[in-house]
A and B are shown apart, each in its own frame.
Chain A
Amino acid sequence: MKQRSWAKWALIAFFAIMGILTFFSGTIRNMTLPQITTQPVSSGTITPVVAGSGMTEAAESTEILASRAGSVTDLLVQPGDRVKAGDVLMRVDYPDDGSLAAKQAELDRQQKALAEARLTATMSTDSSAWTQYQMLKNNLEDAEQRQARCQEYLGKRKSLDSQLSAAKEELSSAQSAYHAGVDAAAQEAEAAHQALDAARRQQENAQANASYYQENPESEEYLTAKAALDEANAAVLDCQNRCYAADTALEALQAQYQPSVDAARQKADELSGQITSLELTYAGCTDEKACENAVLSAKGALSSYYESQKNAKVQDELEAARLAEMESQIEQLEQEITELEGSLGAAELRASCDGIVETIYEAEEFENGEKLFTLQSSDAYTLSCSVPIADAALLRIGAEARITNQSAGGVQIVLSAMEADETDPTNMKRLIFTVTGDNAAANQYFSIAVALESTKHDLVVPNAAVYQDAKGAFVYAVETKTTPLGSRSKVRRVDVVLLRRDDRYTAVSGDLSREDFVVVLSSAPLEDGQAVRFGD
C-alpha cells in the first residue's frame, strides 16, 4: 500500500517535470541563442563623403638669403611679426674678407696694363721715347725687386732677431744658474785653500820648534813642540782633505753648469753670425723706407711718362678698340670697388616683400647664400591629405570641405588641387586644400570631409550591417517563422554588391527587399542558418 502511494507520487512528479520542460523548452532554448539587433532595409539617399586630415601650412613663402658672409649685430623681429617691404629685419656687419684688397690689386694691374698697352700702341720700338720708356720700366722693376728683397730680408731678419733674443735670454739664464750653483762652491774651495796655507805655515813653525829642541828629546819643551807638530800635521791633513772635497765639488758643479752656458753662448754667436751674413747677402736692400721710396719714385716717373704720352694718337684701330675695352673693364672694376667699399661694415637687412615672419634661422654668423628668414608672403594656407584614388576621382576642384574635429568658425577650406601621392602613387592621391578665414593659421590640425553628389537608392542598409570576408560583401538578413510554440528566427547570409556609402548608410544590390531586416548587432558570432533571438 505504502509502496503504491510512493510510486503514484513519483509518477506525478515525473510528468509534472516533463510538462514544465516541454512548456518552457522554447524559453530555455532561447536563452542560449545569440541575441541580435536588427534594422529594416530601406530606400534612401546616400551622400558619400571623402574624409582626410592634415596640418595647415603657409601657402606662399619667401626666403631671404644672405648676399655675402657677415655677422648679426641686432635682430629686430620675431616669428609672427607682420612686416612690409623695406622694413629692417636685422642689423648685420659685413667684414672685409680680403676681396677689396684683391680687387684693388687687380685694378692696379689692369691700369698698368692699360698704360703699357697705350704706350706700345703709340710709339715705335726704335725711338728714343721707347728707349726712355724701357729705362723707366726697368728702373721700376729694379726698385720693385729691391723692395721684394727688402721684404724678404726684413722677414728673415725679424725671425733671426727673435731667435737671437731668445738665445741671449737663454745664455743669461744659464750664466745666472752657473753663478748661483758654482760661486758658493768656489768660495768654499778658496776658503779651504786658505785654511790649508795657514795650516802649512803652522806646521812649518811647529817643525822648526821641534827641530830646535830635538837634541834633548826627553825635555819638556821638545815634547811640547812634538805635540804641537803632530797637531799641526793633523791640521794640514784635515785641510788637505777639505781642499780636495771642495775642489771636487767645485769641479762637479762646473761640469754641470758650464756646458749649458757654452751651448747658449755658441747658439747666440751662431745667430749673430747669421745676421751678419744676412746683412751682407741683402746689402742695399736692408732699408725698407729707402726701398719704398725708390719704388714710389720709379712709379711716379713712369706715371708721369704715361701721362705725357696719354694723348698720343693710336693709329691702329684694333689697338684702339683693345685699349677702349681695357678702359671699360677698369671703369667697371672701379665701380665694383666703390660699391664694395660702401657695403663693408655695418648694414641693415630689409624685407623684400610684405608678409609675416615665419621662420628665423638664428645664427651669429652666416655665409654667402645662407637662409636668414622665411616670410609668409600671403594670408592663405594649404592643407594636404591623401585619399584612395577611387575617392579622389569623385571630387571636383572647388569642392568645399567641412571640418569634423572642431567647430569651424572663421575658417573656409576649399579643394584647390590634386596630385599624385609620392608614397603610394598607385593607390592614393594627394588632395591640396586652400584654407582661408580670420581664424586660419599655420600648424592647425583639421579633420575634413568633402560631401559628394547625393544619389537615391532602393536598397540602403546601415554600415554596421555590412560585412566583407574572403567571399565578398554580405549582410545577415533575418527570417522569422511563427509556429504554435512561438516565433523562430534565423539569419540568412545574403551576398550583396556595394554601390555607394556615406558615413552612416550603404547602398547595396542583392537578394534583399525592403521588407527584410538586417542584423546590425549580435552578442555572438553568427553563421548562415543559425537560430537567433531578438534583444529586449
Chain B
Amino acid sequence: MDAGKTQMLAAELQASFPTEEIPPFVTAWGAKSSGLAVYGHRRVEAELWSVSKDFFTLHAYSMAEGGPGTFASTGSEAVLNEAAAFALFGSNDCIGEAFQMNGLGWRVIAVIQEPAGAANEAAFGAALRIFLPISDDASVTFYEALLPEYYSGYAAQSLQNATGQIVTSSTGRFCLSRLWEAAKAFFQRPPAAQPELPPWEQAARLAERKLCLSWSIALLAALCLLLPRLSLLGKGVKNCVGSFRALRRGRGQKLRG
C-alpha cells in the first residue's frame, strides 16, 4: 500500500457522510524491514520498523526510559525496545546515545517495554526492534486509525473497498458479542498466502483464540455440570407429575370409596 493512499480514509468517510464534518482522527502507518545496527564494536541484526509520528500515540507502550514525544520531528530519532537497547548498549540507560542503522546515524530518544502476558510474549517474542521515522515516499504495510465508534464499521468497509487489504476493527474486540466471530476464525484454516501481521495484531488474535477456547471450555464445563442437574430436575418434575396423578387417583378412589 503506498503512503499516498494513507489519506484516502478521510476522503472515503466524507463520501459516505457528505453532510457531516468528519472530525480529525489519529492515524499511523508503517512498514517492517530489517537492518544492521552498529554501536562501537557491537553489530546486531534487528527488526526495523519505519513508522509515522503518531504511532506511539496509538500504541501506548510503557516507557522504560525517555519518551517518544519528539519522534519524527527532525527525522533522526529512534525508539528501541528493551531487547535492542540491551543488545546495543547493555542497559536501558541509553537516551541520547547515537548509533548507526543501515549506514545512517540515529539518536535514541526512548526505550519501550513491550506488553506482558502470554499472548504478547508469544507474538512479540524476544526480537530486537528499532523504530525509526518513515520517509514520505516509502511503501507501507500497515495502516491504523483511531476513530469515533460511530464511524468504525464504515471506516473498516471503506478501507476494505479502497485497498483490498486485510482490515480488522478492534472495537469491542474481546467482548462476548465478538465470541462467535472469534470462534469462526478459530476453526477456519488461515489462507495460504496470508501476509505477515504486526506483532500487536498477532497478540490480539492469539488472545481472541485463547478467549474463545476459555469460553468454550467454560461452556462445556457448565453444560457438564448442568446436564446431571437437568436430569435430576427432569426426574423431579416426573415425580411431581406422578405424585399429582397419584394424588388425583387416590382422591378419586377416596371419593368413590
Interface residues, chain A, with chain B CB atoms under 8 Å away: 463, 466-471, 474, 476, 493, 501, 522-527
For chain B, give the interface size range: 10 to 19
Q: Can you name the residue of chain A whose Cβ is closest to the Cβ of B40?
A: A468
CB-based contact B93/A525 at 8 Å: no
CB-based contact A525/B95 at 8 Å: no
Cα of A466 to Cα of B82 in the assembled complex, Å: 17
Cα of A526 to Cα of B89 in the assembled complex, Å: 11
Chain A residues near B78 (CB-CB < 8 A): none
Chain B residues near A468 (CB-CB < 8 A): 39-40, 89-90
Chain A residues near B93 (CB-CB < 8 A): 469-471
Q: Can you name the residue of chain B whose Cβ is closest to the Cβ of A465?
A: B90
Chain A residues near B86 (CB-CB < 8 A): 522, 524-526
Closest chain A CB from B20 CB (angstroms): 48
Closest chain B CB from A391 CB (angstroms): 13
Main secondary structure on B side of the interface with A: loop
Closest chain A CB from B40 CB (angstroms): 6
B110 within 8 A of A: no
Interface residues, chain B, with chain A CB atoms under 8 Å away: 39-42, 82-83, 85-86, 89-97, 126
> Which of B85, B96, B126 interacts with A524 by CB under 8 Å?
B126
For the complex of A and B, the 6 pairs showing the least CB-CB separation, nearest first, are A467-B90, A525-B86, A469-B89, A469-B93, A525-B82, A469-B94
CB-based contact A525/B89 at 8 Å: no
Cα of A158 to Cα of B28 in the assembled complex, Å: 83
Q: Could you show 21 A-B contacts with beta carbons less than 8 Å apart?
A: A467-B42, A467-B89, A467-B91, A468-B39, A468-B40, A468-B89, A468-B90, A469-B89, A470-B95, A470-B96, A471-B93, A474-B90, A474-B91, A476-B90, A501-B41, A522-B86, A524-B83, A525-B83, A525-B85, A525-B86, A525-B92
CB-based contact A470/B82 at 8 Å: no
Known: A474-B90, A525-B82, A527-B91. A469 touches B97 (CB 8 A): yes
Chain B residues near A476 (CB-CB < 8 A): 90
CB-based contact B97/A470 at 8 Å: yes
Chain A residues near B92 (CB-CB < 8 A): 525
Cα of A524 to Cα of B125 in the assembled complex, Å: 10
Chain B residues near A469 (CB-CB < 8 A): 89-91, 93-94, 97
Chain A residues near B94 (CB-CB < 8 A): 469-470
Chain A residues near B39 (CB-CB < 8 A): 468
Chain A residues near B41 (CB-CB < 8 A): 463, 466, 501
Q: Which of B42, B90, B95, B126 has the most CB of A within 10 A?
A: B90
Q: Which of B40, B82, B85, B96 has the most CB of A within 10 A?
A: B40
Closest chain A CB from B69 CB (angstroms): 18
Chain B residues near A526 (CB-CB < 8 A): 86, 90-91
Cα of A526 to Cα of B85 in the assembled complex, Å: 10
Q: Which of B82, B83, B85, B86 has the most CB of A within 10 A?
A: B86
CB-based contact B90/A523 at 8 Å: no
Sample of 10 more A-B contacts, CB < 8 Å, known A463-B41, A476-B90: A468-B40, A469-B89, A469-B93, A470-B93, A470-B96, A474-B91, A523-B126, A524-B86, A525-B91, A526-B86
Chain B residues near A524 (CB-CB < 8 A): 83, 86, 126
Closest chain B CB from A505 CB (angstroms): 11
